[in-house]
Chain A
């Protein structure tokens, strides 16, 4: 662990890109702006990699705020996140060079994109919570800017606002948690909080409350039930944004935050139970909604929701390293899935409705391969990345309780189904549209190739202990998260679980492959109609929260109007009084003089007779 100024440099590189592109982006021209942004992110990646291999780093600016240093901390946990954000981020940047080709806001896009990377790095590397919060808000801002990137259309702007406002609820939770922790421990540095929490001597209930507020923050950022409504609408942004921010990195920030605070959570059965419940609900909600969508990006967005639910369950059952492991694998296969979707959209000239796709495997062979791998990884086919991380979650769930394992198995069946549905609708059958599909340029294919390799291979660094007794990622991460000893499952049980989940995934994928090629039965049509609307959660929120709030606002506005009318009435009254007095101003000089004499008589009289 070394003190080095190279650590803030990691953040400064993309920030520099943001400034340069924001100021001179137009002059740089089309491919140059994109390449500059990409290379700066690559620079961050390499720098981070070097520092991580040297065993981490820290850097602090003492007394940034009174009593709060601006401290950054690169340990194994933030290192893994750093690799994901800059690595996958770099690939998506490169891909976006092709995807955003010809857009009038080309350089603006990359400027925002670099801003996002910088903010995300602040979030990840921040050691004291206010620093994390800066990043937290920064990614929210970047997300807002990028969702509303095509701001000429009303719906994009509304979606951006919705994302921002819903996130605000989570941010409130984060702020409250910070306040509570400050009042309890007098420090907001995570590394110091770890020691203070271990030292004891505080109210456990208050700590639970602080943890709960943190959870609220994480729920907002990671789009968990009941704050999940913004994520599907966030697909209004360009596809690279969806891939980078709303699938691979930003939405996992909530999970990362919870894992960072594992020392507060792992002893707290209630809080952990709540996290499990929320994760479970989100996993099912996302999966079920995904099965009813027609917009290709919304399908993938809801699958993201479901996968985030998986991560929350992992955090809830105490499998913190697994949650991070799933973030990593998910980042690869979900980014791949999104970018495959983006390539298809690109090939079809902006068409997003899967009903007008189909048969793409003939037209886009390379993209078809990417989609196939993404589907298998996401559906949990042995031995792709998604399978291993999901299997680890299932194993920990079994330790938590066999019922949870069963429910999670069900959720992973749904995951297999929605993955294969997406694949079938896009790549199989006959082409149902009118465009002439064309394969993407190399600058969009190569990032996908690399991501595809990742989606296949990255799972092998976290094999279950029955196969690889010392896998790579578990000890690597637990060094940073902390050791939370647990009973390992017996070898036999573990094998049974692995085989069960593998077989179930294969069966579900096969069944889904057949099922979604048929004509849909009536019950599925009904289900689909409900799922398309997200099971009416938006309508419910409108009825329960938004409209009453609007009503209240209008009521208050009415009250304001009344007050204003009252003031206007007062003004009119005074005006009337004034015009009454103005009638005294006859303009006749002698009239005034009469008043003068009268007053003189009265005043002198009062003076003498007093």
Chain B
């Protein structure tokens, strides 16, 4: 049960980081923290309910996180090449 609380705390901290960080890399880092928190909660539930399925899902989470990081960091590098910055507040093409 305590690990569920820990996962909740980590998730919130990650969210805080995602909001406050101003460079894309650190924002991404915070998001990884949130993802990890989610995985932790799944493993806790696996233990509490005695089901291995949740652990399998965690494996998938890790695999997909690897893919995500590859693409995400690729994007960051591509943006950096074009703009010479990793600051997310500099990117405002989406302004309505």
Residues of chain A whose beta carbon lies under 8 Å from any beta carbon of chain B: 581-590, 593-594, 597, 600
Contacts and interface: CB of A to CB of B under 8 A. Distances in A.
Given A597-B15, A597-B19, A590 B95 contact: no
Interface string B55-83: 00000000000000000000000000000
Contacts of B93: 587
B96 A587 contact: yes
A583 B93 CA distance: 14
Given A593-B18, A597-B15, A586 B95 contact: yes
A538 B18 CA distance: 83
Interface string B80-96: 00000000110111111
A540 to B, nearest CB: 63
B19 A585 contact: no
Given A587-B91, A587-B93, A589-B91, 6 more contacts: A581-B96, A585-B95, A587-B92, A587-B94, A588-B92, A589-B88
A586 B96 CA distance: 6
A585 B96 contact: yes
B19 A594 contact: yes
Contacts of A584: 96
Q: How large is the interface on B (under 10, 10 to 19, 20 to 34, 35 or more residues)?
A: 10 to 19
A586 B15 CA distance: 20
A600 B38 CA distance: 14
Nearest to A586: B95
Contacts of B88: 588-590
A106 B28 CA distance: 85
A541 to B, nearest CB: 60
5 contacts: A586-B92, A587-B96, A588-B88, A590-B27, A597-B15
Contacts of B15: 597, 600
A278 B18 CA distance: 94
Contacts of B94: 585, 587
A584 B27 CA distance: 21
Interface in B41-63: none
Interface string B14-33: 01001100100001000000
B9 to A, nearest CB: 15
B89 A588 contact: yes
A583 B96 contact: yes
B65 to A, nearest CB: 19
Contacts of B22: 590
A281 B43 CA distance: 106
A597 B22 CA distance: 16
Contacts of B91: 587, 589
Nearest to B95: A587
Q: List the 3 shortest-distance A-B pairs measured between CB atoms, nearest first.
A: A585-B96, A587-B95, A582-B96
Interface hub of B91, B92, B96 (most chain A Cβ within 10 A): B96
B96 A590 contact: no
Nearest to A584: B96
A274 B94 CA distance: 80
Contacts of A585: 94-96
A493 B69 CA distance: 121
A593 B24 CA distance: 13
A594 B89 CA distance: 14
Interface hub of A582, A589, A593 (most chain B Cβ within 10 A): A589
Contacts of B19: 590, 593-594, 597
Contacts of A587: 91-96
Nearest to B18: A593
Contact of B89 (A581, A590, A597, A600): A590
Contacts of A582: 96
Contacts of B18: 590, 593, 597
Nearest to A583: B96
B36 to A, nearest CB: 17
B60 to A, nearest CB: 22
A585 B92 CA distance: 10
A595 to B, nearest CB: 10
Contacts of A590: 18-19, 22, 27, 88-89
A497 to B, nearest CB: 95
A597 B15 CA distance: 7
B1 to A, nearest CB: 16
B43 to A, nearest CB: 20
A378 B95 CA distance: 88
Nearest to A594: B19
A600 B18 CA distance: 14
A581 B96 CA distance: 9
A306 B8 CA distance: 104
B70 to A, nearest CB: 20
A588 B96 CA distance: 11
A594 to B, nearest CB: 6
Contacts of B92: 586-588
A588 B88 CA distance: 7
Contacts of A597: 15, 18-19
A588 B94 CA distance: 8
A188 B96 CA distance: 69
A211 B18 CA distance: 89
B10 to A, nearest CB: 15
A338 B18 CA distance: 97
A193 B28 CA distance: 92
A602 to B, nearest CB: 14
B57 to A, nearest CB: 20
B28 to A, nearest CB: 12
Nearest to B88: A589
Nearest to B24: A589
Nearest to B11: A600
